[in-house]
Amino acid sequence: MSRKLVVLTAGLSQPSSTRLLADQLAAAVTAAVGGRGESLEVDVIELRELAADLATTMTTGLPTPAVSAARERVSAADGLIAVTPVFTASYSGLFKMFIDVLDTDALNGMPVLIAATAGTARHSLVLDHALRPLFTYLRAVVVPTGVFAATEDFGSTGLSERVHRAAAELAQLVVAEPAAVQGFLQDEPIRRRSSGNGVGAVRPFSELLAGHTGDDR
C-alpha cells in the first residue's frame, strides 16, 4: 500500500539548513515505512515559494490557486513533517502564515513530526513551547520525538539518532490501521479532515468582518 507524506519546509535561503533537515527526515521516514512493507510518496512544499500567495490570501481572505492546491495536498496526506527556522525564539512568520490559512479541520488526527533549525542550541525549547502546542491545538497527533538542529549539529551522531527515532515514530503512525472490536465502536474516532477549499467553506464578507470586530489584524 502506498502512503503520502507532505513535508513543509520554511527555510528562506537556497540551499538552507531547514531544507537539509527536512530532506534527512523525509528520507528516514521513507526508509522506516519501507521497512514495514509499504511505499511512501513524499511531497515537499517550499513555503518561500508561496510567500507572495500567502500575503495575498491573508490580506484578501481569498486563497490563491497555489495556496488552495497546497491546502489540498496537506489535508489529503497520511502524515506531515513540519520544519521551520527559529526567528525570535519561535517559528518563522512565513511558517505561521501558512498554518493560519489552513482549515481548522485540515490536520484532524494527522500524524505530525515537528522539527526546527537555528544557529544556536539555546533555541531548542521552541519544539515544546511553540510547535507542539500549535499542532496540538489543530488536533494533530504529534510524535513524541521532535528534532532540533543547531548549526553545529549537522553531521553529528546525536542528530542522526534523533532523526531516525522520530522517523520511526512517524512511520508507525502513518502505516497504522484503526483497530476496533466489531460492534463495540459506533462513532468515528476522529473528526473528518477538510482542506477548506470547498464552495461551502467560503464565508460571506459580512460574516468575516463581524468575526474580526474588535480584533484588528
Q: Mean pLDDT for each consecutive 10-residue tract of the chain (217 residues)? A: 94 93 98 95 97 96 96 96 96 97 95 96 93 97 97 92 98 77 49 71 48 49
Question: C-alpha angle 46/47/52, rounded to 5°?
Answer: 125
Give the Cα separation of 79 and 89 in Å (integer): 26
Q: 197: Cβ–Cβ under 8 A, 6 or more apart, which residues?
A: 63, 68, 71, 72
Q: What is the pTM of this model?
A: 0.85
Using CB atoms within 10 Å of the CB of residue 187, give its burial: 0 to 12 exposed, 13 to 18 middle, 19+ buried. exposed
pLDDT of 202 reads: 45
Closest CA to 71 of 199, 208, 190, 194: 194
Closest CA to 41 of 52, 32, 30, 49: 30
pLDDT of 177 reads: 64
pLDDT of 155 reads: 87
Q: Is the dihedral of CA 59, 60, 63, 66 positive or negative?
A: negative
Amino acid at 56: T
Amino acid at 139: R
CB pairs under 8 A, 24+ apart, for 205-208?
A: 205/61, 208/61
Which run of H or E residues covers position 77?
none
